[in-house]
Structure 1
Amino acid sequence: MTRLQPNPATGETPTRAAARAAQRRRRSLILLGLVILLVVALVVVIGVVFARGAADEPEQNPGAVGACLPESLRITADPAVADAVAELAAGLGADCPKAAITTEDSAATAEALATGANPEFDIWVPDSAMWPARATGQAERTGVDAAELAVGGTLASTPVVFATTEPTAAVLEAADAGFSSFAQRSVAVVLPDPATVAASSSALLALQTALNGDARTFTALALALDPAVAPTTTAALDAVSAATTPTVAVTTEQAVQQYDEDSTTKLVPVYPADVKPAVSIPLVTAADASDDTVAAAEALTAAADDADDVLVAHGLRNAAGNPPATATGDAETTIAAPEQADSANQAEVLRTWQVLTAPSRMLSLNDVSGSMLQQATPDMRRVDLFEQAAVRAINSLSTDSSLAVWVFSSRRIGGQDWQEVVPFGSLGDPVHKQLTIDTANGLDSLVGGGTGLYDSVLAAVKYMRDTYVPGQVNLVLLNTDGVNEDDDGLDLPGLLAELEKLRDPAKPVAVIAIGYGPDTDQSALEQIAAATDGAAYQALQPTDIGTVLIDAVTQRGCRPSCG
């Protein structure tokens, strides 16, 4: 009997072959489903990762290799470094827009910031880190609410050198000349104006260091350098080129290279043998600068680290002070750029220089009491010696200084102990200068009476405070040979109390007191000087008078820290 295979479509039980085929189909469908699920999960995970990465990544990262600086970024650079900055910015990417760079002398930018002006830059590239330190220091001293600055990485540096002709350079190098050699004055020195040229403030700090901080010697050298100050670096180098005697200009390695490229007269750099200063070129931003600005500054710093060839092409060294590969002789020496603290010291020595070299406004307050007629030597009285010394002191002052002469004894005009005999006038005026000299030579004709010291000192200080002239060294030069003899006026504690009331750091009026002979109340003079941040001298011997008076006049600017 033959059995027929039932038809599965009829719902009857399938055969074994059909069952196995159905089972295979089910397994294939399950496997396909799993594969699809895995693919979908993978796509989702990758999408999340990319989404998170896109969210974390800024729209533009100037710090990344090949990235461009923000088009809105404002860069202000000193003319000496502007071209180098532009080339570094251009090297960040071939398709980057050209960076907009405003050139402005660093001194002008610093001065504006010190007065409280808002920064007109996102990144400032001065030719020295001294300038932001100076801007901050000036603002603090004057109480100005100025923008807080952040000094970032160092872009480049350049050593401070002596620029001179080849014959002079050979002599200086053979003698191992350095900043301490200035004291020997064997060569003329031209200094570009420290108020506008950073290399000069760096050189002044090096000079101070070479002299071991000797304030007196530094002051004397600073005053000797002042007449030869040139307004610009180029003017200083021109003066060296035209000099007929051995002369050097204090400048930078970069400035010498640029001068030689532009001039028919070639100068060579001499590297100081003792102190080896340099100027560092930093990137400065506002303390609250945006992240993009900070990143842009970091990008420029990184670009400079990898572009020694660009720096060398502009006469600069890298941040470490390494010499170019082509350097020979002393130029092969690595000269490290100063630390930020050194930049602050440069700013401070610049302020010292400006005080030292500022025009003097001096009121000479001279004792003409009867004791000045006493014999100091067999053939000269005290007043005679003072007259000679006074004339020398007048001749030591610069022509942009001004001088007035008062005398005092007791009750010269009614109950007043003091008297004006020469009003203030410029020593650049030959008529006024001759009048002061003639008056000094004729002080003996005014001698008489007791010593009305304390009231006269207070009157002189009050007058100088009331007529104070900013930008000048306002001081009273007190010359006396005795003690206060005015019982109707102030006593010493009363005078010191009044001087304390008049004290104003913004308008300082120092009393430089000189006591002549053994009868002087030197203790009182020292207290008067201390109360005004001045100084007190004593000339015990007749021959000391001239030396002491000249020293008092020339040390006027470093008081009270001349040493």
Structure 2
Amino acid sequence: MSELPRGDQGPVDQPITHHGPPGGGAGRVLLAAAIVLLLVAVAGGTTWWMYTRDPAPTSNSAVPARSPSASTCPGVKLRVVAAPEIAPVVSAAAKTLDDDPAKPCDPIEVVAEEPGLTVANAAKPDVWIPSSSVWLGIANAGGAAFTAEGKPLAHSPIMLAAPVAVTTSIAKGDQTSWAQLTGALAAGRLPAVTMPDAQASTTGLLSVYGVNAAMARTTPDAGIAQLRALTLRSRLSEATADPTKLMSRIAEQWNTNGVVYDVGVFPTTEQQLRTYQQGKHTVQLKGAFPADGQVEADYPFAVAKNNQDIELTAQLRAAITRSSLTKAGFRPAPLPNTLPLPAQPKQLLAMATMWSEYKSLSTQVLLLIDASGSMNKKITAPGGGTTTRAGLLRESGRFAAELFAEDTTVGMWYFGQPTPTSPPHKEVVSYGPITAPVNGKTRRQALAKAMVDYRAADNSGTPLYKTVLDGVAEMREKVSPGTVTLVVVLTDGEDGESTFKMTQAQFMTKLAAEQDPSRPVPVLALGYGPDVDMNALTAMSEATGGKAFPATNPADLSSAIAKAFLAAHAPR
């Protein structure tokens, strides 16, 4: 990793004061409320998780952190809101336009405010300089009317930063990748990876976009790309981290061996990293650019439709000089190969929703995998070519094994009846902690190998109902407080062609008789292929408090697995 990232634009004279990111307190509450309104308007509605902490006052702000509607100066001609990191530069430029310093009120009021708060506030400024152009689309979709004038004032790419002691496994010089980060974390080569709040932080929102773009480059299967992105999400030690607080913790927790125990890798803006580096802290932080999904904060100069002082607005823009911005650690132009932002903000928000809806929960799960003869039917694979349903499951399942968190307890059965005397199912991975050994491997490795070795027997029947009943009964005995206990079943057909065949009515009666509200075992059902009986899967899932996910097009299998995985980690 590079201590002074490429494109260095000179030293910073004084550290820029960073306000806390919008992941804290009122910022998150107001942003979540604003995005709910936006998604209702442009995407048909999406659940966003609300937070209800009270706002903490900012005591070290370089400029006032308050709503523009709170001004008590009647002489103010232009109200400006800027992202906290760029607000000191904007404020200094505004001071140069004060024609009478003796007056109690300046003609331009500059407020440092996180973009999420500005989106949520009813009163909008005359000029807005958020930390990403995407916020303009979010605000305008909610009824605001901002227009970006010219190119953005400044840019600051997102970097992966870490103490020097933990950088060697993921970076070469100033280059790294989200894929390298995910692989190193999954392999246990990193102490931790944290991310800012994807719903409330520019860095978090853009980083999630970068992760998904990077994983999409690795496979033509969009579902597998989603599984790979969720692999990183499932391993995060914190998903709402404040990079400023992380940096403070790093500076404070240096020990004599030169190791920072509880802080690993985290994304931050180049400007924020440069500011830290200029502070001459004992703990050195280095950063690298994720080349497979490079994203950046940009700072548009946006003017409200009802701005009444266009002349003063133009003077302010001219007063914010390139030299003042580069001195503060910003770039005047974008980094090459930076990903363009989606045309519609709802695309970014959908990724952030998926990311944020994942909750770290202690989970017990039994996987029931259909190994009946119909799994050998030929299909067209994503990206072209011919495979079988079983072949596609092998590919998807291999990546799904990486998704389980370290506190998961798991086992796996195959079900199918190749002969009339065969049992309805067999255990292929014994039940136990995913980190525990199984025949010389970890259980996670055993799951991956079982999926690679998975084969379906020709002409094998499908004892679906019997297997689900046995699986629910097995897991009900394992229910414990504070743990989510699940049965996940994947099938491409319907119950039949076995000595255990029963009608749906018989099955539902037996399933209802086994329910125990004090020991719930939800069934998550994945219906795979065009022959699946989704009505039956939906009925069994709803009867147990679970959910069914269709992949009637076999190419959608990986996406269905991702949805089921997210459902398994949703709060109940």
TM-score by length of 1: 0.51
1:265-284 paired onto structure 2 within 5 Å: 265-284=283-302
Where 2:199 maps in the other structure, the secondary structure is coil
1:128 pairs with one of 119, 128, 132 = 132
Q: Cα distance 1:316–1:240, how it changes in 2: closer, same or farther (>3 A)? A: same
User: For each residue in 1:241-273, what CA deviation from the matched residue of structure 2 results, as whole angstroms up to 9, or x when unmatched?
Assistant: 655479322111111123345554332332344
1:111-126 paired onto structure 2 within 5 Å: 112=120, 118-126=122-130
Shift of 1:232: 0.7
2:155 equivalent to 1:157: yes
2:276 pairs with one of 243, 246, 259 = 259
Q: Cα distance 1:389–1:239, how it changes in 2: closer, same or farther (>3 A)? A: farther
For the Cα contact (< 8 Å) 1:230–1:236, is it kept in 2?
A: no
Q: Which residue of 1 aligns with 2:244?
A: 234
CA–CA separation in structure 1 for the residues paired with 2:343 and 2:122? 25
CA–CA separation in structure 2 for the residues paired with 1:391 and 1:452? 35
- Residue segments in structure 2 that go unaligned for 5+ positions in a row: 1-73, 254-258, 370-412, 436-442, 445-462, 488-498, 512-521
1:223 pairs with one of 214, 218, 233 = 233
User: For each residue in 1:266-310, what CA deviation from the matched residue of structure 2 results, as whole angstroms up to 9, or x when unmatched?
Assistant: 323323444432111123444xx2252555544433333xx1222
Q: Which residue of 1 aligns with 2:85?
A: 80
For the Cα contact (< 8 Å) 1:422–1:436, is it kept in 2?
A: no
Q: Cα distance 1:478–1:249, how it changes in 2: closer, same or farther (>3 A)? A: closer
Q: Which residue of 2 aligns with 1:202?
A: 206
Q: Cα distance 1:157–1:202, how it changes in 2: closer, same or farther (>3 A)? A: same
Where 1:79 maps in the other structure, the secondary structure is coil
Q: Cα distance 1:184–1:123, how it changes in 2: closer, same or farther (>3 A)? A: same
For the Cα contact (< 8 Å) 1:74–1:100, is it kept in 2?
A: yes
User: For each residue in 1:6-43, what CA deviation from the matched residue of structure 2 results, as whole angstroms up to 9, or x when unmatched?
Assistant: xxxxxxxxxxxxxxxxxxxxxxxxxxxxxxxxxxxxxx
CA–CA separation in structure 2 for the residues paired with 1:133 and 1:358? 31
For the Cα contact (< 8 Å) 2:549–2:564, is it kept in 1?
A: no
CA–CA separation in structure 1 for the residues paired with 2:482 and 2:167? 44
Q: Cα distance 1:296–1:388, how it changes in 2: closer, same or farther (>3 A)? A: farther
- Residue segments in structure 1 that go unaligned for 5+ positions in a row: 1-68, 138-145, 322-332, 397-406, 438-447, 461-474, 485-490, 503-508, 514-525, 538-547
2:362 equivalent to 1:353: no
RCO comparison, higher one (Cα < 8 Å, 6+): 2
Shift of 1:86: 0.9
Structure 2 letter corresponding to 1:193:
D
Q: Cα distance 1:301–1:495, how it changes in 2: closer, same or farther (>3 A)? A: farther
1:141-152 paired onto structure 2 within 5 Å: 146-152=142-148
User: For each residue in 1:368-414, what CA deviation from the matched residue of structure 2 results, as whole angstroms up to 9, or x when unmatched?
Assistant: xxx9997689x994444289469869x99xxxxxxxxxx9959x9xx
CA–CA separation in structure 1 for the residues paired with 2:200 and 2:271? 17
CA–CA separation in structure 1 for the residues paired with 2:181 and 2:414? 41
Q: Cα distance 1:302–1:184, how it changes in 2: closer, same or farther (>3 A)? A: same
Where 1:163 maps in the other structure, the secondary structure is strand
2:481 equivalent to 1:431: yes
Shift of 1:510: 5.3
2:90 equivalent to 1:90: no
For the Cα contact (< 8 Å) 2:549–2:563, is it kept in 1?
A: no
Q: Which residue of 2 aligns with 1:316?
A: 330
For the Cα contact (< 8 Å) 1:159–1:335, is it kept in 2?
A: no
User: For each residue in 1:216-243, what CA deviation from the matched residue of structure 2 results, as whole angstroms up to 9, or x when unmatched?
Assistant: 2433433234334352112333566655
1:512-523 paired onto structure 2 within 5 Å: 512=549
Structure 2 letter corresponding to 1:309:
S
Structure having the higher helix fraction is 1
CA–CA separation in structure 1 for the residues paired with 2:432 and 2:503? 21
For the Cα contact (< 8 Å) 1:163–1:237, is it kept in 2?
A: no
Where 1:270 maps in the other structure, the secondary structure is strand
User: For each residue in 1:147-184, what CA deviation from the matched residue of structure 2 results, as whole angstroms up to 9, or x when unmatched?
Assistant: 23324132222121122334655772349422332243
Where 2:194 maps in the other structure, the secondary structure is strand
CA–CA separation in structure 1 for the residues paired with 2:527 and 2:414? 9
CA–CA separation in structure 2 for the residues paired with 1:231 and 1:131? 20
Structure 2 letter corresponding to 1:478:
A
User: For each residue in 1:84-129, what CA deviation from the matched residue of structure 2 results, as whole angstroms up to 9, or x when unmatched?
Assistant: 221122233554725323333223333x2xxxx6334333322222
For the Cα contact (< 8 Å) 1:160–1:253, is it kept in 2?
A: yes
For the Cα contact (< 8 Å) 1:106–1:126, is it kept in 2?
A: yes
Shift of 1:359: 7.2
2:108 equivalent to 1:99: yes
Q: Cα distance 1:512–1:494, how it changes in 2: closer, same or farther (>3 A)? A: closer
CA–CA separation in structure 2 for the residues paired with 1:341 and 1:436? 39
Q: Which residue of 2 aligns with 1:301?
A: 317
For the Cα contact (< 8 Å) 1:191–1:250, is it kept in 2?
A: yes
CA–CA separation in structure 2 for the residues paired with 1:272 and 1:259? 20
Where 1:192 maps in the other structure, the secondary structure is coil
CA–CA separation in structure 2 for the residues paired with 1:555 and 1:493? 15
CA–CA separation in structure 1 for the residues paired with 2:527 and 2:290? 46
Q: Which residue of 1 aligns with 2:525?
A: 478
Where 2:265 maps in the other structure, the secondary structure is strand
172-181 or 249-258, larger mean C-alpha shift: 172-181
For the Cα contact (< 8 Å) 1:134–1:347, is it kept in 2?
A: no
Structure ID, larger Rg: 1
Structure 2 letter corresponding to 1:103:
A
Q: Cα distance 1:135–1:510, how it changes in 2: closer, same or farther (>3 A)? A: farther
Q: Cα distance 1:293–1:232, how it changes in 2: closer, same or farther (>3 A)? A: farther
CA–CA separation in structure 2 for the residues paired with 1:284 and 1:454? 62
Structure 1 letter corresponding to 2:122:
N
1:392-541 paired onto structure 2 within 5 Å: 409=465, 430-431=480-481, 433=483, 450-453=501-504, 477-478=524-525, 511-512=548-549, 526-527=551-552
Q: Cα distance 1:555–1:365, how it changes in 2: closer, same or farther (>3 A)? A: closer
Where 2:193 maps in the other structure, the secondary structure is strand
